[in-house]
Amino acid sequence: MKAENVMNKNVIYATLPDTRENVLGLFKKYHISAVPVIKNGSLAGIVTRKDLLRKIDEDQLALLMTPNPTTVQASESIKKVAEIFAKTGFRRLPVLDGEELVGIITLRDMMKKISEMSIEEVVEKYVSREVTCVWEETPLNIVGEIMRVANAELCPILDNNAEVVGRIDEKIMLTESLIEEFIEQTHYSSSSDSDDAWTWDSIRDFSVKYFEVSVVKLPKEAVKNFMKKPVFVYPQTSVSKCAKEMVRNDIDHMPVLDAENRLMGLVNDIELVKVLLK
């Protein structure tokens, strides 16, 4: 199997020269979080929502993007693609045919393919015991701070019996539309002589770290009011079934319970993709 068998051929891209506003428009229109950047018909870089947040005062795409991104050839084996994902921690790779951009492949694409492959190996060996969980009565703003300090992208939620009753992640706490609105409003404010970038009313009272900048302050209500239903697998769950559940529930980290239904750890897509290295 090759990269061209897994990649998305309908690539949304930006072209140099361009601006933050136009790139953000692509993110919103197509519900994506990154686009390759083309210059004179060749791949010049890639720009993500993180880049827009990290460089809030910059407007020119050439200075916002990451130049010379890691790529794969369409003819490259899926094993080589998995190796790059596992080694770098990247979540997407532009796919080239020679010098021409012909597709993009993401970790979610890899999970979809793994879910279709009927891989019977169990997930137990891919489980990380380093997991941050919180009590269901913990205020959401405290959960956000815990996740920031722990660098956690997903937290299982426990009740008084230490049972997993839900999950919370960055996608739940900070919706894409909120981030996009923040970028637009802050960029507008920073270009004004009279307004400071941090005086926007909907942002001013908030302060949780996200993508290396303070974006929003989360409500002080209990996390149970915001969590989503619990999703989990067991150590003996097959890799393909786990991947299918991750895709179905739009999560990158899957809680794993032991035989007594106690939380034992998490398995994430970057670890799971290593099954393709065999």
Residues 136 and 8 in one domain: no
Residues 95 and 206 in one domain: no
**Beta-strand pair 34-39/14-15:** parallel
Residues 206 and 128 in one domain: no
DSSP code at position 258: -
Q: Which helix (H) or strand (E) holds 155?
A: strand 154-158
User: Is residue 150 in a domain?
Assistant: yes
User: Is residue 201 in a domain?
Assistant: yes
**Beta-strand pair 66-67/42-48:** antiparallel
- Which residues face 219 on adjacent strands? none
Residue at which a domain ends, from 62, 89, 110: 110
Residues 149 and 268 in one domain: yes
Residues 22 and 151 in one domain: no
Place of tokens 């809030």: 56
Kindly report the number of other CB atoms within 10 A of residue 62's CB atom. 16
Residues 53 and 82 in one domain: yes
Place of tokens 């894409």: 176
pTM for the full predicted model: 0.78
- State the residue range of the domain holding 184: 176-216
147-202 pLDDT, tens digit per residue, is 888 888 889 999 999 999 999 987 777 654 555 566 666 655 544 443 333 333 33
76-120 pLDDT, tens digit per residue, is 999 999 999 999 989 999 999 999 999 999 999 999 999 999 999
Residues 166 and 71 in one domain: no
> Based on the structure, what is the number of domains in the chain?
3
Residues 200 and 238 in one domain: no
